[in-house]
Structure 1
Amino acid sequence: MISPLRSLLAPADVAAFVAAAYGREVTGATLLRTLVNDVYRVETTHGPLVFKLYRHGRPVTDVAWEARLASHLHDRGVPVVRAVPRRDGDPAGTLTAPEGERACLLWEWAPGALPGAAIDDATATGFGRTVAEFHAAADAGAPPPPRARDDAPLDELRAVLTPADRELLDVLAAALPDRIAGAGLDRGICHGDVSLDNVHLDDDRLVLYDLDRTAEDYRAADLTGVATTPWWPAFLAGYRAVRPFGAADLAALPWLTVRDLIANLHFHLVDKPTFRGTDSIGEGWAERELSALRAAAGRLLA
C-alpha cells in the first residue's frame, strides 16, 4: 500500500475548488510557493486572493483560530489581511488530498508590495509600531491561542550533527532555560515570523500577512529577526512608541536568536529532507544557520 507523504494540486484544480467552496468567480490560479504549505494566487473578477493549503496534520481548529485572530486584529486597527469566508460563512475548511485531509484558508491579497531589502528609518519605525500594535491588540481580548511555540526535538538534531557541533548544541541548550524562561519576559500571542518577507508596503503603512507560525511565545522572540539588521534602532524606537520593551527583553534577544537557530537547523537538517530530499541540505541554509550558531556561541559563552 502506497502512503503519499504530500501532494501538490494543479492550479486549475485550486481554481475550481475556490470557485465551488467560496462562491467566487475565478479566472485562474498560480502556484506561488510550495514548502511546508502550498500557497496559490487566485485571480477573481474582484481582484486577487491567496489560497493557502496547509500541510496534512495541521489541525483545522488551529487554522480556524488563525482566521479569527486576523479578524480580531483587523477590527482593532492593525493592518493585517483577513481570511475570506466560505459559502457556509466559516473561513476554515478542508480539502481531501491523497495523504489525507488538509486544512485550507482563502486570504485577502495584501495591498502594496514587498519593501525590499533596503528600507529607510521611517519605514523601519513604522514596522516597529505595526508589530507593537499587533501585540497590543492581541492582548485586548484576542481568542486564546490553541498552541504555544514548540521547541525542536534536540535528539533528532543531535543525530545529524558532527561531534563538535553536537557538543556546542548541548552547551547552548543547557543554558537556554535560565536565560529565557527564568528572565520574567513579556509573553503573549506573537506573529512568529516578523520579517520583510511577510509584510507589504502600501503607501505609508505596512500590511502584515502569513500568520502560519502565530502562537503564544515570548514577545521578544518576534524581534529576533530584525534585531540584527542595520535598521534595528529605528524599529525598536517605533515599537517602544506603542508598548514597552524592557531591559530583560533586550538581554534575552541573543538567546532567543539561538533558540531560533536551533529550530531552523532542525527544519533544514531533519524536517525538510523528508519532503524535499537530502539534496536540499546542499542549498546552503543549514550551513548558514550552523555558522550563525557557532558565532553566537562564541559571543555568549566567552
Structure 2
Amino acid sequence: MPEFEPLYTTTSAESIGRFVAHHYVLSEPLACRMVNRGFNDVYLVTTASGDRYVFRLSHHRARGAADVRTETDFLAHLARCGVPVAAAVPARDGNLFVRGEAAEGRREGVLFPAIDGRMPDVASQSDAHANGVTLARVHDAAMSYQPEAPLYRLDLDHLLHRPLARVENLCRTIGSDDGGFLQEVCARTAAGIEAMQGLAWTHCHGDCHGFNARIGAAGEAVFFDFDDSGRGYLAYDLAVFLWAKLSFGRRFHAAWHAFVDGYRSVRPISAADFEAAHAFVIVRHIWLMGEQASRSREWGSEPVRWITQQREFLEGWEAQQLGARLMSLTDGSMGDFEP
C-alpha cells in the first residue's frame, strides 16, 4: 500500500499510444506525444499512414464527472447537421468514448480527428466573424437536439454560485479577505439576470472564447473542446467570447462586434440576450476563478493566487459597463457605448 495518495497522475505518451491502439482501429504503429497538460490532458496520435488524431483524457474536476456521453452525442448530432466540428471517432466497440484506470481512479478518453487549419488570431475581426458564424450554426442545430440525461445544466448554480463557494474556500485557506465583495457582486449579478425576461436557452458550447477553433483555408471556424457544453443560457455562450476580448486588460472591441455580426448573419440575437451577455461576463469570470480555485490542491495555492486580485476588473465591469448600459437603456439610446 503506497503511503502517498495521488490526486492526479500524468499518463505517459507511450501508455496512451498502447491504450489507443487497443481501443481503436488505426493503422499501426502509432506515434504519440503529449501536447497539453491542464484541465484535460491532450495527446497527438499519428498513425503509420500519417493520419493525425487528438486523444483527450478527462481530468477529475470539482464540478463532477466529465459528461463525455452527452458531449460526444451532441458532437455527432452537430456533424450530421453539417456544422463544422471535430466529432469523436468511434472505438472498436462503436462507443464514442472509452474509460481507463489511472492511479487516482477511472478517467474518460475521447479520440478526435486532428483539425487542419491555423489557430485564430486574438484581434482578428475575420476570425471573430467566423467564430460567430459557427456558434450560430451550433445553436441552430441544437434546436433539434434532445439529450438523454445530461449531467450538466449551465444555470447560475453551476456557473456562479458553486464556483463562488470554491473561490471563497481558497480565500479562507490562504488568508485573503475581500470584505464580502465577491458575495455582493455575485448576488447583484444573479438578481439582475433572474429579473431579465425572455432569455433563451440552448445547448451551449460552453467555452467559445475564440481559441477552441481552427480556421480553415476557406476562413471557416471548425469548433472543438465541447467538454464544458450543456443546456444553458444562450447569453452565456455569447458572453464567453465578449469576456475573452475584454478581460485581463484586452481591448478588442472590434473583434466582439465582428463576432456578433457573424452570428447575426446566420440567426438573430434578441435584445434581451444581447443585453444579458454583458451581465454574464461577470458570471464567466467567476466561473473561471472557481475552476482555478478547485485545482489548488493539485497545483498549489500560489499559482492560483491571481483569483484574489480580481476586484478591480469585476468592479470596473459592473460599474462602467453594466451601469452605462442600464443608463442608456433608460434614456432609450445606446449612445457610443463600445461593447
Q: TM-score, normalised by structure 1?
A: 0.90
Summarize the Cα distance change of 1:156–1:123 in structure 2 as closer, same or farther, 3 Å threshold.
Answer: closer
Matches of 1:137 and 1:156 in 2, distance apart?
Answer: 34
Summarize the Cα distance change of 1:107–1:255 in structure 2 as closer, same or farther, 3 Å threshold.
Answer: same
Identify which of 112, 116, 121 aligns with 2:117. Answer: 112
Residue 212 of structure 1 corresponds to 227
Matches of 1:244 and 1:15 in 2, distance apart?
Answer: 45
Cα deviation, 1:173-232, whole Å, max 9, x if unaligned, reads 222233223322111110011122200001121100001100111111111233243212
CA RMSD of aligned residues (A): 2.1
Using the TM superposition, give the Cα deviation of residue 167 of structure 1 relative to its aligned residue in structure 2, in angstroms: 2.4
Structure 2 counterpart SS, 1:293: helix
In structure 2, give the amino acid aligned to 1:257: V
Number of residue pairs matched?
A: 296
Using the TM superposition, give the Cα deviation of residue 250 of structure 1 relative to its aligned residue in structure 2, in angstroms: 1.9
Identify which of 179, 184, 189 aligns with 1:176. Answer: 189
Matches of 1:216 and 1:207 in 2, distance apart?
Answer: 21
Q: Which runs of 5+ in 1 are unaligned?
A: none
Maintained 8 Å contact 2:86/2:223: yes
Maintained 8 Å contact 1:189/1:214: yes
Identify which of 30, 34, 38 aligns with 1:35. Answer: 38
Cα deviation, 1:266-301, whole Å, max 9, x if unaligned, reads 223x2121111123125x5x3664432132233246
Identify which of 259, 273, 281 aligns with 2:296. Answer: 273
Cα deviation, 1:214-258, whole Å, max 9, x if unaligned, reads 011111111123324321222112211222211111221222111
Matches of 2:204 and 2:35 in 1, distance apart?
Answer: 25
Matches of 1:279 and 1:171 in 2, distance apart?
Answer: 25
Identify which of 38, 48, 53 aligns with 2:57. Answer: 53
The ranges of structure 1 where at least 4 consecutive aligned residues each deviate by more than 6 angstroms after the TM superposition are none
Equivalences for 1:1-302 in 2 at 5 Å? 2-24=4-26, 25-44=28-47, 45-56=49-60, 59=65, 62-120=67-125, 122-144=126-148, 145-149=150-154, 150-151=158-159, 152-153=161-162, 154-159=164-169, 160=171, 162-163=176-177, 165-183=178-196, 184-203=198-217, 204-227=219-242, 228=246, 229=252, 230-268=254-292, 270-281=293-304, 284=306, 286=307, 289-299=310-320, 300=322
Structure 1 counterpart SS, 2:207: coil
Matches of 2:205 and 2:7 in 1, distance apart?
Answer: 28
Matches of 2:68 and 2:117 in 1, distance apart?
Answer: 25
Matches of 1:225 and 1:155 in 2, distance apart?
Answer: 21
Range that drifts further, 220-229 or 78-87: 220-229
Matches of 2:77 and 2:60 in 1, distance apart?
Answer: 26
Q: Which runs of 5+ in 2 are unaligned?
A: 247-251, 325-339
Maintained 8 Å contact 1:26/1:42: no
Summarize the Cα distance change of 1:49–1:174 in structure 2 as closer, same or farther, 3 Å threshold.
Answer: same
Maintained 8 Å contact 2:74/2:145: no
Using the TM superposition, give the Cα deviation of residue 106 of structure 1 relative to its aligned residue in structure 2, in angstroms: 0.7
Using the TM superposition, give the Cα deviation of residue 104 of structure 1 relative to its aligned residue in structure 2, in angstroms: 0.9
In structure 2, give the amino acid aligned to 1:252: A
Maintained 8 Å contact 1:78/1:133: yes
Q: TM-score, normalised by structure 2?
A: 0.81
Matches of 1:63 and 1:254 in 2, distance apart?
Answer: 29
Identity of aligned residues (%): 29
Summarize the Cα distance change of 1:26–1:51 in structure 2 as closer, same or farther, 3 Å threshold.
Answer: farther
Structure 1 counterpart SS, 2:52: strand
Using the TM superposition, give the Cα deviation of residue 117 of structure 1 relative to its aligned residue in structure 2, in angstroms: 2.1
